[in-house]
Amino acid sequence: MTILLVLLVLGAFFCLYRALRGPSISDRVMAVDVMAVIFTSITALMALRYNLAYLLDLSIALAVISFVATLALAKYLEGRSLDD
Amino acid sequence: MIDTLGWVFIVGGVLFNVLGCLGMVRFPDVYNRMQSTTKSVTLGACGILFGIFLINGFTALGIKALVCVLFVLINLPVASHALSRGSLIFGIKLWKKTIKDEFTQDRGGTSIIGGEDE
């Protein structure tokens, strides 16, 4: 169980490298979005490990919030305004 | 028996996640990175959550994991599709060894092939 959590944190560090280093803006946005899904997996595994059901509420909220943020930035890149 | 199946799903999901994030470091341009990471991370996160549902059954933990599978399954493909379309229109360059870019040709723009390795 612990080795699985450590592997997931390693994957989050890969995404953090790309978010800090990435040459274009969509690299950074994509890296942060993927990192949010990795954190969704981490909180789900912690909910399984400590048997706490409310940690999965955190997972659902994280997935929805990162989705909205990425869609807003994609529309901005496409050159449209947010109420278009 | 069904516990073992759940653990197989969880371990497979973690491996998919880590290898997808390794693609985030290794691939040459933003479109390659998107197709590497989003597919495997979607499958990995759904695998982990479905494994938690298999282990716990229809308890509070299991039902919430199923709802979260639904959200993740909608979230990443739609977000990466919108983001790749947005960055093609914005003009972020494709990798220099890319063969064909039909999206920009159909829109009548100039070619944006020629990005460097990074």
Give the model confidence (pLDDT) of A51-61 as tens digits: 888 999 998 99
* Inter-chain CB pairs, A–B, below 8 Å: 157
B34: which chain A residues are within 8 Å (Cβ-Cβ)? Answer: 30
A30-59 confidence digits (pLDDT tens) = 999 999 999 999 999 999 999 888 999 998
pLDDT at A84: 61
Average pLDDT of each block of 10 consecutive residues along chain B (118 residues)? Answer: 93 94 89 90 93 92 91 89 89 83 80 74
Contact A26 B44 (CB under 8 A): no
C-alpha A37/C-alpha A63 separation (Å) is 6
Query: Positive or negative CA dihedral for B27, B34, B112, A26?
Result: negative
Contact B74 A67 (CB under 8 A): yes
What is the interface pTM, i.e. ipTM, of the complex? 0.88
pLDDT at B13: 94
Distance from CA of A77 to the nearest CA of B (A): 5
Distance from CA of B58 to the nearest CA of A (A): 12
DSSP string for B20-50: HHHHHHH-SSHHHHHHHHHHHHHHHHHHHHH
C-alpha B111/C-alpha B2 separation (Å) is 53
Contact B80 A30 (CB under 8 A): yes
C-alpha A13/C-alpha A15 separation (Å) is 5
Q: Find the closest chain B residue to A41 by CA distance.
A: B45
What pairs with residue B113 in β-bridges?
B94
Distance from CA of B108 to the nearest CA of A (A): 16
Question: Which pLDDT band, with edges at 50, 70 and 90, does A82 fall under?
Answer: low
Contact A71 B79 (CB under 8 A): yes
Record the pTM: 0.89
Distance from CA of A17 to the nearest CA of B (A): 8
C-alpha A18/C-alpha A20 separation (Å) is 5
Helix (H) or strand (E) holding B114: strand B113-115
> Pick from A8, A29, A56: which is nearest to B17 by CB?
A8
Contact B10 A45 (CB under 8 A): yes
Contact B61 A12 (CB under 8 A): no
